[in-house]
Structure 1
Amino acid sequence: MTYDIVIRGGLVVDGTGGPSRVTDIGIIDGVIATVGLIPEIGTEEIDATNLVVAPGWVDIHTHYDGQVTWDPEVSPSSWHGVTTVVMGNCGVGFAPARSDGHDFLIELMEGVEDIPGTALHEGIDWQWESFPEYLDAVATMPRTVDVLAQIPHAALRAYVMGDRAHGDATDDDVAQMAALVEEALNAGAFGFTTSRTILHSSKHGLVPGTNAQNDELLALADAVGRAGHGVFQLISDHQGLGDDQGLHVELAQRTGGTITYTLAQSPIDPTAWTKALDEAELQAANGLDLRPQVACRPTGMLYGLQTSLHPFITHPTIIEMRELPLSEQVALLRQPEVRAQLLSEEATTDNFIYKSLMSRWNQIFPLGTVPDYEPPASQSIEALASAEGRDPYDVVLDYLLEDEGKAFLFAPLAGYLDFDHEALRTMMEHPRSVVGLSDGGAHCGLICDVSFPTYLLSHWVKGRERGPRLSLEQAVHFQTQQTAEAYGLDDRGVLAEGKRADINLIDLEQLELKSPEMIFDLPGGGRRLVQRADGYVMTIQHGEVTYRYGEPTGNRPGQLVRSA
């Protein structure tokens, strides 16, 4: 047998959660041919001594719907060992699309997912109208990763209902939407997604579909059922309980498939997540597949002088200098009279949510040059200001001016009420949950959770000090076999004979996250928060090396994956 690649002597963590072992892997034509000791010499030999050899990460919650049309690297996800991404989440996306509805869809994505509208306008070429045509357009570009698409509710409503997209759908509207959902799934979409949260809005108001009647959702679930496959993904303020409880059960019954929804520890009801997990387990016993989708660290807003939100963002002094280069802003803010003026001002917004988020001093922390996403309560701005006898705003300003104005404050949006990750650990380890919510490609000006896959190893396996760690086998399983199975991907997520050769080689000792940074490389000079990592020695996609030591090789074997 002649192998294209032989990976020798690595610690193989196969993705199943089973024990790791030191052995070899042989690859032929992009597929794993052998897992075991291999005497033959391969065309390419890779020495994996002292390295972890794991499946490529499967990230099921991203928003690359626009970016995949212009970016063959699909970064930053590909920098973090991700080899498969699922996009189209939370009910927003770009297909189907009326020729006169492009601006509306861009404004929705900009409002909900904080992706610069200028980048979307300049980057998307709109070579489609229907969802099948969108899939065809996405399929034309070779990439470093495989991409899977879902049909989003907001785009669907805008296409069928036009200017009425925010209102109640007629029976005819629902029938048309159901037919389009079925068409999309038959063409290769992996699911249907919707948003039912007040947190998702644009300048037009809440996302279309937020207040859709249950009958509409059930009709769309029936369409998924008729197609015979497809995940039904949603985000809701009720997080699987209350009004959601019966709805989720009926959606699962109608689709015959997986219902996945966002679950986090809510400040309104800090223990509700435990009940949601119990409900998912109960329904599993009834043969229904409810998969609460959970994070491996709290969804984290990053406050900095270049981000979309920070405690001074609506103060007059900051508003006046907002268009200045960062270096000039920093120089001005270091002048005593300017600093004094800023600290004497108050926020000019009347938005209660913004005011609350910008001054939750017990939930705002210095991120640090070595990012700390599990800080103790004693490191909160509230605690630091109290210890120093200073006003929190005064302390915050000092931190914002560190690193020449490039430093960040970490402000967990949810899931950090107990000042540790124990609730998250319980969620991740629950048999019915699935790890996701990285939001790769989204929240460009405020959140950088795209590094979740790396964090699962760098923090949970080797770095955590404030509670129990995960085993290496657990952490790999959570983002390989588990996530692949949630979307019916039986050809990847496990290192076994016959599976796709999507593989990471990782120096676990050296694996670490770098500080987030704001860069301006999107079309039109649009900004985005990114985060690099050290420790990825090699990423292999379908048998081709796509990254070596964090740098792209130029190989782009990734493709659009269509559902069966």
Structure 2
Amino acid sequence: MPSHVTYDTIIRGARWFDGTGGPSAVRDLGLRGGRVAAVSAEPLDATGCPEVMPAHGLWVLPGLIDIHTHYDIEVLAGPSLSESLRHGVTCVFVGSCSLSTVHVGAVDAGDLFSRVEAIPRHHVIDHVERGKTWHDASSYVEALEQLALGPNLAAFLGHSDVRTAVMGLDRATRPEVRATPAERGRMQQMLTDALDAGFLGMSAQQLLFDKLDGEVCRSRTLPSTYAGGAEMRGLRRILRRRGRALQAGPDATHPHTIVLEALRSIGLPGRAALKTSLLSAADIKAIPFVIHLMRGLAAVVNRLGADFRWQHLPVPFEVYADGIDLVIFEELGAGAAALHLSEKVARDELMRDPAYRAAFRKEYETKYTPRVWHRDFFDAEIVACPDESVIGRSFGQVGVERGGQHPVDAFLDLVVEHGTDLRWRTTISGHRPQVLRRLAAERGVQMGFSDAGAHLRNMAFYNFGLRLLKHVRDAEQEGAPFLTPEQAVHRLTGELADWYDIDAGHLRVGDRADLFLLDPTRLDARVEEYAEEPCEQYGGLSRMVNRNDECVPLVMVGGRTVWRDGAPAGPLGRERTGQFLRAGQGPVPPVPASTPSAAPAPAVRAG
């Protein structure tokens, strides 16, 4: 590289991963105009460069991609999305699980999002009501790009969103009602318009324990679950023709729906394969053999010409709950009955009822049915309670200590007595490390499904990418590798960007300078810990988060530093650094800085 060439930033001496899965190497990176201008084995000439970052001993990686979030609401009031950004995530997907805010109004958005995703309904309504300036997919993109976005965004169009907008929430959630040909045509036009605007595809849902909030349609399942065959065929036909993705959640209580979704992905002569990303490949405690069937299904249909992937969270799926407020109870009739009641007094009265308790016990003891929750209160640890004597015990143990009380009764007694002050945890899936390792290397899975921005009191997987890298590094040090670091980085970055066809996930000359520095020596137990922080966007609600800032000393979006040494940096929260990444439209220029850097920034610490 000629010596007179100058750069906006030089990253000096980091181990460089390009996101392709190819070999990593120690390199200097020169950034200019928001893109990678040079990758050099020799030291780059720093003459005229305002920022030189010593990064010896660190890794430099493409920004991670989170393919499954529910940031649709939070982005309107807190567009920096720093809880993901701080962990090296520089691109997030919104519009998952049939839910988006492209077409519905504020109240309908509140009913759709709040109970399913455990986001306070009044905040959903308020943020959409105050923030909505758009009326269709194109103006939605424009509205997002008026915000001070931290990371980049890409989006699915939610099927429940368009169905509600076209049919009205009441008609869209009645089993006897089918969309008319005119209504199906309007939905198809909305999808076409969204794809023209650069959306990734459409998300749909068949899962029957995702329930509506509000009063009018409370406890009905999401509108997408009521769609008839003709409606879905028309929408799939558009996605297939345009080469865009269907992100779907099958009905886990009816396993044949999983097989049907996989078979529909198969391409035939004269019919392209339908890109399908299905929820989710999980090693479920309740049904330990099912993960092997999932892996086999993906392998078979892809050999037959499908383009099918499972979404997979490559960490133990540990959840926390305050009292009975946890979505897994929706799969039980008794649990759904309690969650249907929004008032504590009414809930408590129900949970005291002997007939209700008998029904709950019966369902709890019915273990051999398709389900997500293992239904074992001996595998549910109490972590906080005004009655300190029960902390550290399971509900089953509490029942034993109370004279052989049934675990369900021990649980309900504590919920009635302490309400949401009773906090407990359990692991639903991903509990076997050896199975997690096999899944992480499986071609038929995609890394993702963090649910970032939702279930604020229940779980925190904002740093799932770092946790996978820790798992890979630990296995390598143990002499039992299952992925190389290069392969793991590829799975979290370039593989996803290429499949969804967006300008992200790579770190080669000419690529966007969306990147982060990683200190591999800090991939330790701290990345597996949880913390709680008040969430300003939701009235100071304490939400679960991850805190391992020493692991990620620097994050850049479009060549601009947005996170440094555990704190927001540069323009984050004040200016837009991220943008809407349009599927299939190739590289787009990063957002330019509003003012040039006036002075060198401090060097990045190596840990």
- TM-score between the two structures when normalised by the length of structure 2: 0.75
User: How far did residue 310 of structure 1 move?
Assistant: 11
| Corresponding residue SS for 2:522 | coil
Distance (Å, rounded) in 2 between the aligned partners of 1:408 and 1:80:
26
Q: Pick from 58, 63, 67: which aligns with 1:56?
A: 63
Structure 1, 346-355 or 267-276: larger mean CA deviation: 346-355
Distance (Å, rounded) in 2 between the aligned partners of 1:113 and 1:54:
31
**1:461 to 2:479 alignment:** no
Matched with 1:261 is: 278
- Which runs of 5 or more residues in structure 2 are unaligned? 330-334, 366-372, 385-391, 586-607
- Which runs of 5 or more residues in structure 1 are unaligned? 323-343, 369-378
Q: Pick from 40, 56, 60: which aligns with 2:45?
A: 40
**1:549 to 2:559 alignment:** no
Distance (Å, rounded) in 2 between the aligned partners of 1:352 and 1:396:
11
The change in CA–CA distance for 1:123 and 1:486 in structure 2 (over 3 A counts) is same
**1:450 to 2:457 alignment:** no
Matched with 2:246 is: 232
Distance (Å, rounded) in 2 between the aligned partners of 1:382 and 1:305:
12
| Corresponding residue SS for 1:150 | strand
Q: Tell me which amino acid in the other structure corresponds to 1:68.
A: V
Matched with 2:189 is: 179
Matched with 2:487 is: 474
| Corresponding residue SS for 2:225 | coil
Distance (Å, rounded) in 1 between the aligned partners of 2:424 and 2:478:
21
Cα offsets for 1:82-106 (capped at 9, x unmatched): 0000110100121212xxx431221
The change in CA–CA distance for 1:75 and 1:239 in structure 2 (over 3 A counts) is farther
The change in CA–CA distance for 1:246 and 1:319 in structure 2 (over 3 A counts) is closer
Say whether the 8 Å CA contact 1:118–1:523 is kept in structure 2. Answer: no
Cα offsets for 1:274-327 (capped at 9, x unmatched): 23322322332333210111111233211357975899x98xxx968x9xxxxx
Say whether the 8 Å CA contact 2:251–2:257 is kept in structure 1. Answer: no
Say whether the 8 Å CA contact 1:537–1:548 is kept in structure 2. Answer: yes
**1:441 to 2:453 alignment:** yes
Distance (Å, rounded) in 1 between the aligned partners of 2:206 and 2:326:
23
| Corresponding residue SS for 2:203 | strand
Matched with 1:116 is: 120
1:296-307 alignment to 2 at 5 Å? 296-304=314-322
Cα offsets for 1:399-435 (capped at 9, x unmatched): 99xxxx999643123343xxx2222222221112111
The change in CA–CA distance for 1:292 and 1:6 in structure 2 (over 3 A counts) is same
1:123-134 alignment to 2 at 5 Å? 123-124=127-128, 125-134=131-140
Name the count of aligned residue pairs.
516
Cα offsets for 1:201-257 (capped at 9, x unmatched): 12331000213223321210112234x232110011349962332443334546644
Say whether the 8 Å CA contact 1:9–1:48 is kept in structure 2. Answer: yes
The change in CA–CA distance for 1:4 and 1:251 in structure 2 (over 3 A counts) is same
**1:488 to 2:535 alignment:** no
User: How far did residue 258 of structure 1 move?
Assistant: 1.6
The change in CA–CA distance for 1:497 and 1:63 in structure 2 (over 3 A counts) is same
Matched with 1:421 is: 433
Q: Tell me which amino acid in the other structure corresponds to 1:233.
A: Q
Say whether the 8 Å CA contact 1:291–1:432 is kept in structure 2. Answer: yes
| Corresponding residue SS for 1:413 | strand
| Corresponding residue SS for 1:198 | coil
The change in CA–CA distance for 1:353 and 1:258 in structure 2 (over 3 A counts) is farther
Structure 1, 243-252 or 435-444: larger mean CA deviation: 243-252
Q: Pick from 258, 281, 286: which aligns with 1:244?
A: 258
The change in CA–CA distance for 1:153 and 1:538 in structure 2 (over 3 A counts) is same
Say whether the 8 Å CA contact 2:82–2:150 is kept in structure 1. Answer: no
**1:135 to 2:141 alignment:** yes
Q: Pick from 185, 193, 212: which aligns with 2:227?
A: 212
The change in CA–CA distance for 1:415 and 1:255 in structure 2 (over 3 A counts) is farther
The change in CA–CA distance for 1:170 and 1:422 in structure 2 (over 3 A counts) is farther
Cα offsets for 1:417-465 (capped at 9, x unmatched): xxx2222222221112111100111111222222312222234434898
Say whether the 8 Å CA contact 1:35–1:495 is kept in structure 2. Answer: no
1:49-448 alignment to 2 at 5 Å? 49-97=56-104, 101-124=105-128, 125-162=131-168, 163-166=170-173, 167-203=177-213, 204=217, 205-226=220-241, 228-238=242-252, 242-251=256-265, 253=267, 256-263=273-280, 264-266=282-284, 269-304=287-322, 360-365=376-381, 381=394, 409-416=424-431, 420-448=432-460
Say whether the 8 Å CA contact 2:530–2:544 is kept in structure 1. Answer: no
Say whether the 8 Å CA contact 1:304–1:310 is kept in structure 2. Answer: no
The change in CA–CA distance for 1:394 and 1:106 in structure 2 (over 3 A counts) is closer
Structure 1, 153-162 or 252-261: larger mean CA deviation: 252-261
Cα offsets for 1:255-278 (capped at 9, x unmatched): 644210012234564323323322
Distance (Å, rounded) in 1 between the aligned partners of 2:153 and 2:278:
20
Q: Tell me which amino acid in the other structure corresponds to 1:237.
A: D
| Corresponding residue SS for 2:536 | strand
**1:25 to 2:39 alignment:** no
The change in CA–CA distance for 1:11 and 1:406 in structure 2 (over 3 A counts) is farther
Identical-pair percentage: 28
User: How far did residue 40 of structure 1 move?
Assistant: 0.9
Distance (Å, rounded) in 1 between the aligned partners of 2:473 and 2:60:
15
| Corresponding residue SS for 1:90 | coil
Structure 1, 44-53 or 525-534: larger mean CA deviation: 525-534
Structure 1, 446-455 or 233-242: larger mean CA deviation: 233-242
User: How far did residue 77 of structure 1 move?
Assistant: 1.0
The change in CA–CA distance for 1:477 and 1:367 in structure 2 (over 3 A counts) is farther
| Corresponding residue SS for 1:540 | strand
User: How far did residue 380 of structure 1 move?
Assistant: 8.7
Q: Tell me which amino acid in the other structure corresponds to 1:533.
A: N
User: How far did residue 492 of structure 1 move?
Assistant: 2.3
Distance (Å, rounded) in 1 between the aligned partners of 2:494 and 2:439:
17
The change in CA–CA distance for 1:39 and 1:81 in structure 2 (over 3 A counts) is closer
Distance (Å, rounded) in 2 between the aligned partners of 1:239 and 1:289:
24
| Corresponding residue SS for 1:184 | helix
Matched with 2:589 is: none
- TM-score between the two structures when normalised by the length of structure 1: 0.81
Distance (Å, rounded) in 1 between the aligned partners of 2:360 and 2:113:
21
